[in-house]
Amino acid sequence: MTTTTKAINAADVTPNRRRGGEIRVTLSQKTCGATSGFGGSVLLRPGEYVSEHYHPYSEEFIHVITGELELKVEGEPVALGPDDSFMVPIGQRHRLVNVGDSTAHVIFHLSPLAPRPDLGHVDTEPQPGEPL
């Protein structure tokens, strides 16, 4: 893996919509050779959510740029707005919902990396659009 020193713009990354919203991983092992974690941004329209999941190996750092969100961690709600940050501890279930009336923009970072990418997320509810 070659490390790159170029800037990576979110608009140049194909969004992942599997868990909900528009998730763009901009800094990762694949995009720049990162070895300690990965991060990017999430856009959530009003009412959209990122489905509940947890990370068995990583902490997730969340920072809200714009919007009004409800983060549920282990079922407990946390209200988040612009300039709020939150760290989800390793192994804790969490779900993010845009409860406002405008698009929310969130920056995230996870660290450390899981031993393999397929071990990094464990889904605990159906994905948006999947049957319950």
Q: Would you list the domain boundaries of the chain?
A: 16-123
Token code pair at residue 73: 């961690």
Is there a contact between 68 and 99 (Cβ–Cβ < 8 Å)?
Answer: yes
- Side-chain half-sphere CA neighbours of 69 within 13 A: 33
* pTM of the complete model beyond 0.85: yes
Closest of 97, 98, 99, 93 to residue 125, by C-alpha: 93
Digit-coded pLDDT (tens) for 34-92: 999 999 999 999 999 999 999 999 999 999 999 999 999 999 999 999 999 999 999 99
At residue 127 the predicted structure's pLDDT band, cuts being 50, 70 and 90, is: confident
Is there a contact between 59 and 87 (Cβ–Cβ < 8 Å)?
Answer: yes
Which CATH number does 16-123 carry? 2.60.120.10
